[in-house]
A = this chain, B = another copy of it.
Amino acid sequence: MAEAISKFDQDLPRREANHVALSPISFLQRSAAIYPESTAVIHGRHYSYREFAERCRRLASALRKRGLGQGDTVAVMAPNVPALLEAHYGVPMFGGVLNALNIRLDPATIAFILQHGEAKALIVDREFSPVIQAALADLDRKPLVIDYDDAMTEAQGGTRGPLIGELEYEALLAEGDPDFAWQPPADEWQALALNYTSGTTGDPKGVVYHHRGAFLNAVGNAMVLGIDRRAAYLWTLPMFHCNGWTYTWAVTAMSGTHVCLRKVDPALIYPLIEEAGVTHLCGAPIVLNLLAHSPADVRRPLPRRVRVGTGGAAPPSAVISRLEQQGFEVLHLYGLTECYGPSTLCAWQDDWSNLPLEERAVKMARQGVAYPTLQEASVRDPETLEAVPADGETVGELMLRGNTLMKGYLKNPEATRKAFAGGWFRTGDLGVVHPDGYVEIKDRSKDIIISGGENISSLEVEEVLYRHPKVMEAAVVARPDPKWGESPCAFVTLQQGEEATAEEILAWCRDHLARFKLPKTVVFGALPKTSTGKIQKFVLREQAKEQK
């Protein structure tokens, strides 16, 4: 017998009037309608919300006129300039999918991405025309190439390469209709953006974002970082990185101001904080490091409190301390490309205010708790899927579930299946849950060091190294060890002008670490990094093998 329909479902279907696809594009429409004269974007000059929205509609219209349509990919190779921000609206406004390219990639990888993502158009900031030219040489089918010639290039430390496109970006906009009537997507599950992960091995994977997830993560970001209409958000985080962790949409949702920036340089950042009224910025620890260690002659006193969201790795206590002294307020976020950037935050607890810095930094370094817009962040046994006890000790894999997770990997059903196996998104990060419910990541599954049967968290050893007054950056990896199986090998970059011996560093470690966790070797020098600024541990593991 068929189940009777509940009275609450009888004649009460979704309708055109009461069910609309969630889309972050709607934020721009609203802000432009309510605050047309407010500043939406600052980049040399000010762009009002009216102008910003018009430029986005022109972009959508012009690309549509040039034959692009529903589900077509538009790639952008640019630093944090207005054209890239506009593409976050203009591309989905005609049903397209934005593929923001990592500007640090090599031509071969770019060629792979353009081919795999089937980009129909490609907007290129002139600074990157040489690398794009090289990438395009490898492609069978060339996209429509559009040059972006940024007047702020030199002022923000860039250079201009040759013009390589069919036309210039402003000329393209001139072809478009400023009143282009865009519609929300027919389905909020529709693709919005395509972001390739900078995998350490193998081909990059194309992470597909949907409108629903971007809308919700943007709202979550506004709630978590306290973005409001008075906010001015400085773009120190690459917009190509998870669409700027969805702040490209979150700032617009609250009718705040985007402050563009081509290059993360303290000599540019401090004046902008002052002149553009910056209230918020985000960045990987490398950005925080740059601010913490900025030369005295470029640093300026902050005219107001500036909130800093950081993620990618826990902020070391030394960095937190230096930034707080300058007037920054640091919030630790955690996420991956697959979850639209941040999905958890280390939510502040009132009683932390009374803790000494070191203890506070230990609390703040944890990945914390789920965003209000994520359903669940949970540490579980990767085999049984059982949640680990909140004892701060039992290690499991951090898993996520909710509406702010990718549709999956483009043209890669096997990787998608694996990522979502068992009804959870597997982050590949190993962590514990503390008695207060806060998650702390101990390591990537592949970065854990197993020495004499004991697990050593490379992060724990690194945190100790970071606290050494002469150390600027540190990374610890496993080295094959005939006796112990593996042993920790430390790579250290000293602060400018500092000198230290390996014995000096090891003595510090002995004071702060259990004996079995001590690095057997300390190597000094610059650390190899991925294009998104992540330390490449697989390179260090190779180097470690060669150390005595």
Contact = CB atoms under 8 A, between A and B. Distances in A.
Interface majority SS (helix, strand, loop, mixed), chain A: loop
A436 to B, nearest CB: 9
A17 B420 CA distance: 6
A118 interface: yes
A228 B413 CA distance: 41
Nearest to A70: B6
A437 interface: yes
A7 B410 contact: yes
A35 B349 CA distance: 8
Contact of A411 (B10, B15, B372): B10
A112 to B, nearest CB: 16
Interface stretch (A219-227, A259-267, A483-491): A219-227
Interface in A1-41: 6-12, 14-20, 22, 26-27, 30, 33-35
Interface stretch (A74-82, A287-295, A399-407): A399-407
A425 B18 contact: yes
A33 B437 contact: yes
Chain A: interface size category: 35 or more
Nearest to A36: B437
Among A16, A226, A408, the most chain B Cβ lie within 10 Å of the Cβ of A408
Contact of A403 (B22, B403, B406, B420): B22
A303 interface: no
A319 interface: no
A253 interface: yes
Contact of A7 (B20, B71, B425): B71
A469 B475 CA distance: 74
A369 interface: yes
A405 B17 contact: yes
Nearest to A412: B11
Contacts of A538: none
Contacts of A53: none
Contacts of A10: 411
B14 A189 contact: yes
Contacts of A70: 6
A420 B190 CA distance: 26
Complex copy number for this chain = 2
A413 B400 CA distance: 40
A144 interface: no
Interface in A144-190: 184, 189-190
Contacts of A420: 15-18
A477 interface: no
Among A16, A30, A71, A413, the most chain B Cβ lie within 10 Å of the Cβ of A30
Given A34-B347, A223-B254, A372-B30, A403 B18 contact: yes
Nearest to A97: B8
A407 B7 contact: no
A424 interface: yes
Contact of A402 (B20, B208, B410): B20
28 contacts: A6-B70, A6-B71, A8-B190, A8-B208, A12-B407, A14-B189, A15-B408, A15-B423, A16-B401, A16-B420, A16-B423, A17-B401, A17-B420, A17-B424, A17-B425, A18-B213, A18-B406, A18-B420, A18-B425, A19-B189, A20-B375, A30-B369, A33-B369, A34-B369, A219-B223, A223-B223, A226-B228, A254-B372
Given A16-B401, A17-B401, A27-B372, 15 more contacts: A7-B410, A8-B97, A8-B407, A12-B410, A15-B408, A17-B400, A18-B402, A18-B407, A20-B375, A20-B401, A20-B402, A26-B375, A33-B369, A33-B437, A34-B437
